[in-house]
Structure 1
Amino acid sequence: MAEERVGLDGLKDAMRGQAAAATGSAATTVTQAAEAEAPQPLRDAFGRAYATGRRKNAVARVWVKAGSGRITVNGRDITTYFPRPVLRMVINQPFVVTQTMGQFDVICTVKGGGLSGQAGAVRHGLSHAMGRWDPQLRPPLKAQGFLTRDSRVVERKKYGKAKARRSFQFSKR
């Protein structure tokens, strides 16, 4: 029992010595830790950042690189692929929030869903890719909710119903 107490006392002394040594170099370790924890850009060999975006049944694969602001969707220009201005506005929202309009070239491929779901998927993927290209852009995108996947999907049809919830028309006679 006495040997255990000596061992514990020795352990306490060792801990105190480490704590004293740590306070002397605390400032240098804090700056080193801050530099090590600062998020680094995730880019490939071509200087692009990649992310996947999803909305409803649509899946968008998005690549972002520094450029002149050109957006290509499935090999076509954004104005021909998304003819409605509202859908183009949805896609451009991450640029407006981060004030980087015209600074990135975007190439994306979209599959599944309709045009509205595809536009939401492109916005989701674009927001993630921009956050990976420059981690400083992530906080404003997160504040606007662009990094969160919109999980709303069409409800499935149930048996005994005309649609998901609508019943067949009631006939009294």
Structure 2
Amino acid sequence: MNTKIDSVFQKNTIGLGKRKQAIARVFLVPGEGNIVINKVSGEKYLQYNLTYLKDIWAPLKELNLEKQFDIIALVRGGGLTGQTESIQLGVARLLCQMNPQNRSVLKPFGFLTRDARIKERKKYGLRKARKAPQYSKR
């Protein structure tokens, strides 16, 4: 890899985002507004879904920085929605790390809130977490 990108992939320049089973490591590189997810273009990875793309760009749009940075994300686990929301959280956290004043702008929009809802564990005697076998009276 070239030295420009190597300097970006440092531990202190990572924005970590999580949602359900998805974990995203996000890097912001000075650029013209491209998204790269797992070494694939963001549009192709997210199946050209405009809602997902808007969700990822939302923190940068609020700060009017959408054309100044490229987003590079390494994501694993979960589905596309969980991965999108984890990237969004990673971007927001990274922006706050770069400039602490960004926090007051992003906080009211909920970009810094980790959605803690995860799948409930299966209980014994049940089919799923809460689904019980059919009750038979006789």
Query: Which TM-score band applies after superposition, normalised by the shorter structure?
Result: 0.7 to 0.9
Unpaired segments of 5 or more residues in structure 2? 1-5
Shift of 1:97: 2.0
Q: Partner of 2:28 in structure 1?
A: 64
Shift of 1:133: 2.4
Q: Which one of 127, 150, 155 corresponds to residue 115 of structure 2?
A: 150
The count of corresponding residues between Structure 1 and Structure 2 is 130
RMSD of aligned C-alpha atoms?
2.0
What code does the residue aligned with 1:50 have?
A: I
- Secondary structure of the structure 2 residue equivalent to 1:93: helix
The CA deviation string for residues 76-131 of structure 1, in whole angstroms up to 9 with x for no partner, is 11111112222222212212222222221111100111111111110110111112
In structure 2, do the counterparts of structure 1 residues 45 and 74 end up closer, same or farther at CA, with 3 Å as the change threshold?
closer
Q: Partner of 2:89 in structure 1?
A: 124
**Percent of pairs identical after alignment?**
40
Q: Partner of 1:166 in structure 2?
A: 131
TM-score, structure 1 normalization: 0.68
Higher helix share: 1
Q: Partner of 2:3 in structure 1?
A: none
- Distance in structure 2 (CA, Å) of the matches to 1:65 and 1:169: 55
Q: Partner of 2:14 in structure 1?
A: 50
Shift of 1:62: 0.6
Paired residues for 1:45-124 under 5 Å? 45-46=7-8, 49-83=13-47, 84-124=49-89
8 Å CA contact 1:64, 1:133 repeated in 2: no
Looking at CA atoms only, which structure, 1 or 2, has the larger radius of gyration?
1
